[in-house]
């Protein structure tokens, strides 16, 4: 039996809960997909810098998985049922598609830079959306943005010409 009304009471009003819940749900989907993209790249990267990129992808997978759990638990604490099903992720994630097959280390780095830039852009919009609805959730989104922006910088640095 599926509960139609949340068994968890929310400290937020209905409108604030709706806005915040949508921001958290979107972030959850992006974090799940980011971890899947990074894992797919991890399995298929080849090239001179394979080992470094392979290990850096593992770090990104761990970070994205951890943030997905944090975001889902925050949604639950607000009485919003998180939905991380594969079909939901496939339908609504904003992470750029990562094609199947072997990819050079440079192609993987460029794809991860693009994926992170997209996720960060979407996340910054959600930070703005939660400014008036829930500062606790906004704080979580800010922490995620801070870590992903640091990661984005480190991935970009690998593409820079010296």
pTM of the predicted model as reported, rounded to 2 decimal places: 0.93
Could you read off the pLDDT of 9-50 as tens digits, one per residue?
788 888 999 999 999 999 999 999 999 999 999 999 999 999
Cα–Cα distance list, 11 to 17, 78, 162 (Å): 8, 7, 52
| pLDDT tens-place string over residues 80-89 | 999 999 999 9
CA angle 13, 15, 21 (to 5 degrees): 95
- Cβ contact 81:75 at 8 Å: yes
- List pLDDT tens digits, range 101-156: 999 999 999 999 999 999 999 999 999 999 999 999 999 999 999 999 999 999 99
Phi, psi for 116 (deg, rounded to 5): -65, -40
């Amino acid at each position: 039996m599926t509960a139609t009304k949340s068994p968890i009471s929310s400290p937020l009003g209905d409108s604030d809960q709706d806005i915040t819940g949508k921001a958290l749900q979107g972030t959850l989907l992006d974090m799940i997909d980011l971890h899947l993209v990074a894992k797919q790249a991890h399995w298929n990267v080849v090239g001179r810098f394979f080992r470094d990129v392979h290990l850096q992808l593992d770090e990104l997978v761990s970070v994205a998985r951890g943030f997905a759990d944090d975001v889902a638990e925050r949604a639950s604490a607000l009485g919003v049922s998180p939905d991380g099903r594969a079909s939901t992720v496939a339908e609504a994630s904003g992470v750029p598609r990562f094609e199947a097959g072997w990819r050079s280390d440079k192609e993987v780095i460029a794809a991860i830079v693009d994926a992170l830039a997209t996720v960060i852009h979407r996340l910054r919009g959600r930070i703005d959306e939660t400014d008036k609805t829930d500062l606790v959730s906004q704080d979580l989104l800010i922490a995620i943005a801070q870590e992903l922006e640091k990661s984005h910088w480190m991935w970009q640095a690998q593409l820079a010409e010296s």
